[in-house]
Chains A and B, each alone.
Chain A
Amino acid sequence: MYMRTISQAIVIFLAILMLNGCKKDEQEIPQQEIQFVIDHSSGSTPINFFDVFQNPAGNSFKTSTLKYILSNFKLVKQDGSFESFPNIEVVNEEFDTTKTFKLNNVADGSYSALRFSIGVDSVQNATLVNGGGDLDPSDGMVWTWNTGYIFLKHEGQFLDSAGILQPFVYHLGTNSGYTEIEIPLQSFTMEGKLKTIRLNFDLLKAYGAVNTLNYTIWQNQQSITPSDKPWILAFKANLKQTFSIRSIE
């Protein structure tokens, strides 16, 4: 009886110690975070779902959906080594809350480049149960009959050459659609403080940075038919150029 009470006391004591220990650790870590804020634009104009914009091929278009997955964030040092972050983010033009997110526990130091990907890598893309971390299939970014995530969706309407309003659908996915992006950073140093990086995603670049994509020709591209193969490559090359840094604070 006596023994038991002592042991119980030890257990409780240790437990309290451990719990406190954990809390303390968390509190002592300084706020070494990078906050991202993403803007979507068409050239220099912020995009919205109401106005008509013109893509580099000359199509007048209106956007109804712009949504994509970002993952595999890395901060690269001068010597080529890098810090990795587990974030998988679904950015949706419709919801501002999805356009800001944080990388946590960024080690102090100087970084020369930011890397991340549109989509999830082939390992994560192989299953819909936790493949993409917390990415919930009900979020609408999955293919269920061809297991995998939809990396990017851009949908809307455009005026075809006859002046008729037509829908366009761009769904990027499959492992060959996985798009790695690298943005150079100039004298970017973490020093125990929160930094905010404002990124801009320019739709015009997505349709013309390297390859001009005409909606009349490439109207419905869902990464699933043979004709999507060249499209994936062309679109991917453009996407690599779509992000730029607006500001770092």
Chain B
Amino acid sequence: MRNIWILCAIFIFSSCAKDVPVPGDDVAQGPTPLNIQAPFGLPQLTIPQNNPTTLEGVALGRKLFYDPILSGNNAMSCSNCHAQNFGFTDHENTLSTGIDGIAGTRNSMPLFNLAWAPALLWDGGATDLESQVLAPITSPIEMHEDLTNALDELNAHSEYPALFEKAFGTKSATSFLLMKAIAQFERTMISADSRYDRYIRGDAQFSEQEIRGMNLFSDMNKGDCNHCHTLGGLFTDFGYRNTGLNLEYNDQGRFLITLNESDKGKFKTPSLRNIALTAPYMHDGRFETLLECVQHYNTGFQQHPNLDPALAFSVHGRLSQTEMEDIVAFLHTLTDSAFIANQAFSAP
């Protein structure tokens, strides 16, 4: 009897609201909610309310991520520039080509722990994962009919309409649902099981060199890497900084988004997790090795007017060769082999 009254209440509420599915409707149960948990060591996670993660949504997003159907010539998928065995970055091209003039100046970015990123891309130009999805699919200066074509192709496909229905309760693929599905998949790509993580949990040992490297990483007068690539957790604070790679930047980074002079040459601080897998390095892919990266912070950085104070006040040549090698050894402990082998993220 009580159940009936509850049912009654639901019925009454739903009879006036359009969006609430009426119980017993033929869109059966709806998608299965997937509760993404922040693993040990990573901060709390918030999933946007307008795109709750579901098993079916993630499965659809994964299929789309690997499907060249989203590209103009049906020959390129997200995975072409974001390959799992390289931490979801592009190992073949220093500068990713095929997007547009602007992205053509940049090195592909690794994809993991994106659920925590307050903004996407080297310059933070994309404000959420959903919105970012469109950038590589379409010509980024502005949308051409490519997106419409992609949607038409999805709607005419033998499998996709059923997958969209499972994930979102409607057979028709729309821009919004496409964006949501891929973003859902991306939010599940979590990496927090490197040897460093296991060392912190007490499940793995570090060599003496790795321990020295870790200490140098945090030492304000030495590596001071911790200042921006926060030790532990996400290994970044997501701040935009000028690291003195150039005196004159061709790609002005954050400035392109804010048009503030003080943002010239600033780029989003990347995570250093899986860093040994994601060469080449920096927004323009200029460095091939981690040692070159450390050398840059030791002696390479230039006095750009916007150079981050943490570097501007640090001593040129403060690290010895051995110390630089120690830091590199530590960086290798951040590789998460389980992540790159995880079948849940590989081509379906």
- The contact of A129 among B125, B151, B179, B259, by CB within 8 Å, is B179
Is B138 among interface residues, defined by CB-CB distance under 8 A? yes
Which of A52-60, A138-146, A185-193 lies at the interface? A138-146
Chain A residue contacts of B148, Cβ below 8 A: 138
Chain A residue contacts of B140, Cβ below 8 A: 143-145
Return the CB mask of B123-147 against A: 1 if under 8 Å, else 0: 0011110111011001011111101
Q: Which of A21, A22, A139, A142 has the most CB of B within 10 A?
A: A142
Are B135's CB and A144's CB within 8 A? Answer: yes
Are B135's CB and A229's CB within 8 A? Answer: no
- Cα-based distance from A203 to B132 in the complex (angstroms): 33
- The contact of A137 among B7, B12, B16, B175, by CB within 8 Å, is B175
Are A146's CB and B256's CB within 8 A? Answer: yes
Is B47 among interface residues, defined by CB-CB distance under 8 A? no
Closest Cβ of chain A to B48, distance in Å, is 8
Are A142's CB and B134's CB within 8 A? Answer: yes
Is A127 among interface residues, defined by CB-CB distance under 8 A? yes
Known: A18-B11, A150-B142. A136 touches B176 (CB 8 A): yes
Is A164 among interface residues, defined by CB-CB distance under 8 A? no
The residues in A between 1 and 37 inclusive whose CB is less than 8 angstroms from any CB of B are: 3-4, 7-8, 10-11, 14-15, 18-19, 21-22
The residues in A between 219 and 248 inclusive whose CB is less than 8 angstroms from any CB of B are: 222, 224-226, 228-229
The residues in A between 144 and 198 inclusive whose CB is less than 8 angstroms from any CB of B are: 144-147, 150, 171
Are B142's CB and A147's CB within 8 A? Answer: no
Chain B residue contacts of A18, Cβ below 8 A: 11-12, 15-16
Q: How many A-B residue pairs have CB under 8 A?
A: 106
Closest Cβ of chain A to B184, distance in Å, is 12
Is B103 among interface residues, defined by CB-CB distance under 8 A? yes
- Cα-based distance from A146 to B134 in the complex (angstroms): 11
Are B128's CB and A145's CB within 8 A? Answer: no
Known: A127-B130, A138-B175, A144-B135. A171 touches B256 (CB 8 A): no
Are A137's CB and B147's CB within 8 A? Answer: yes
Return the CB mask of B81-104 against A: 1 if under 8 Å, else 0: 000000000000000000010110
Closest-by-CB residue of A relative to B255 is A226
Return the CB mask of B249-286 against A: 1 if under 8 Å, else 0: 00000001101000000000000000000000000000
Is B75 among interface residues, defined by CB-CB distance under 8 A? no
A: contact size bracket:
35 or more
Is B71 among interface residues, defined by CB-CB distance under 8 A? no
Known: A138-B151, A144-B131, A146-B125. A14 touches B16 (CB 8 A): no
Are B4's CB and A145's CB within 8 A? Answer: no
- The contact of B15 among A10, A22, A136, by CB within 8 Å, is A22
Closest-by-CB residue of B relative to A12 is B11
Is B1 among interface residues, defined by CB-CB distance under 8 A? yes
- Cα-based distance from A226 to B259 in the complex (angstroms): 6
Closest-by-CB residue of B relative to A148 is B127
Are A136's CB and B174's CB within 8 A? Answer: yes
Chain B residue contacts of A199, Cβ below 8 A: none
Closest Cβ of chain A to B223, distance in Å, is 33
Closest Cβ of chain B to A109, distance in Å, is 27
- Cα-based distance from A229 to B260 in the complex (angstroms): 10
Are A171's CB and B142's CB within 8 A? Answer: yes
Are A3's CB and B138's CB within 8 A? Answer: no
Are A11's CB and B176's CB within 8 A? Answer: no
Closest-by-CB residue of B relative to A226 is B259
- The contact of B143 among A8, A22, A140, A224, by CB within 8 Å, is A140
Is A105 among interface residues, defined by CB-CB distance under 8 A? no
Closest-by-CB residue of B relative to A232 is B259
Known: A11-B4, A11-B8. A147 touches B174 (CB 8 A): no
Closest Cβ of chain A to B103, distance in Å, is 7
Closest-by-CB residue of A relative to B4 is A7
Is B346 among interface residues, defined by CB-CB distance under 8 A? no
Are A3's CB and B1's CB within 8 A? Answer: yes
Is B207 among interface residues, defined by CB-CB distance under 8 A? no
Chain B residue contacts of A139, Cβ below 8 A: 143
Is A126 among interface residues, defined by CB-CB distance under 8 A? yes
Are A11's CB and B11's CB within 8 A? Answer: yes
Are B16's CB and A127's CB within 8 A? Answer: no
Chain A residue contacts of B125, Cβ below 8 A: 145-147
Chain A residue contacts of B100, Cβ below 8 A: 145
- Cα-based distance from A144 to B138 in the complex (angstroms): 8
Is B44 among interface residues, defined by CB-CB distance under 8 A? no
- Cα-based distance from A7 to B4 in the complex (angstroms): 7
Chain B residues in contact with chain A, CB under 8 A?
Answer: 1, 4, 7-8, 11-12, 15-16, 50-51, 100, 102-103, 121, 125-128, 130-132, 134-135, 138, 140-145, 147-148, 151, 174-176, 179-180, 256-257, 259
Instruction: Give 10 nearest A-B pairs by CB, closest first.
Output: A18-B15, A128-B131, A144-B135, A144-B134, A145-B140, A147-B127, A146-B125, A7-B4, A129-B130, A138-B147
**With A18-B12, A146-B125 already in contact, 13 other A-B pairs whose C-beta atoms are closer than 8 Å:** A10-B8, A11-B4, A14-B8, A22-B16, A129-B130, A129-B180, A137-B179, A138-B148, A138-B151, A141-B143, A144-B132, A145-B140, A147-B126
Q: Please, could you name 17 A-B residue pairs with CB atoms under 8 Å apart, sorted by A?
A: A7-B4, A10-B4, A18-B16, A21-B16, A22-B16, A129-B131, A137-B134, A137-B175, A138-B147, A140-B145, A142-B142, A144-B131, A144-B132, A145-B140, A147-B125, A225-B259, A228-B259
